[in-house]
Amino acid sequence: MGCLEFISAIIQDESDARRLRSINYRISESRLPRPHKLLDDFNFSFQPKLKKKLVMNLASMDWMRNRRSVLFEGRSGTGKSHLARSLALIACHKGYKVYYTTCANRPHDLNTGVYEKTLYKRIRKYLNPDLLLIDEMGHDRLELEVTRKAHLRFKVIDERYNKSKPLMMATNVDELGWAEYLGDPISTQAILDRIYHHSVKVMIKGPSYREYEGKCLQEQYDH
């Protein structure tokens, strides 16, 4: 190896190391739950009605470049969170700043900001990232009570919509069930307009993988 090739290799190694540190930093700052979900690990054969081509197109991140949003909708256990988190992880690798939260945690956080007079600072962490992932919408009754009491639930969605900043959501609440879920028919339509407008919808109509695994485990010990 000549001198120029040697220097070039060193520069490339340093560049690769910086890139890897940047990726790891973005992943750490994203607050994505561990272990991280990978798209390669998703069992598409278990959900034959799911459009695999649509999901793989989303993995290209064109929707991020075009400032679109993504909504995963389906019953519990169908893989919504897996797909959403895996796409968020890809976004981190592609250079985007991502922030993960659940529907229950966000209202708690913002309401705390009101009492502690840190609301603006708390809102910024949901507005600044290139992509905000809100997971587990409609997850349980506790979350439902929290959501109904959270008068600030609309502010983050509205601000990101007005700034054309992508939002990704995973929910088991269908379009007809939002009014009951939010507990406020007046604001429901305004929220829905911002959630569904400019959003790519991924419908997962299939069985629960968790239920399937539970049955397999039970059968294993029954024999």
Q: How many domains does the chain have?
A: 1
Domain that holds residue 148: 29-222
Q: What is the pTM of this model?
A: 0.84
Residue pLDDT, tens place only, 144-183 = 555 544 556 678 888 898 999 999 999 988 777 777 777 6
Residue 47 falls inside a structural domain: yes
Residue 17 falls inside a structural domain: no
First to last CA, the chain: 64
Residue 72 falls inside a structural domain: yes
* Measured torsion, CA atoms of residues 87, 90, 96, 97, in degrees rounded to the nearest 10: 70
The pLDDT value given to residue 4: 66
- Whole-number average pLDDT of the chain: 83
Inter-residue contact 138 to 172 (CB < 8 Å): yes
Residue pLDDT, tens place only, 81-104 = 999 999 999 999 999 999 999 887
Residue 7 falls inside a structural domain: no
CATH number at residue 108: 3.40.50.300
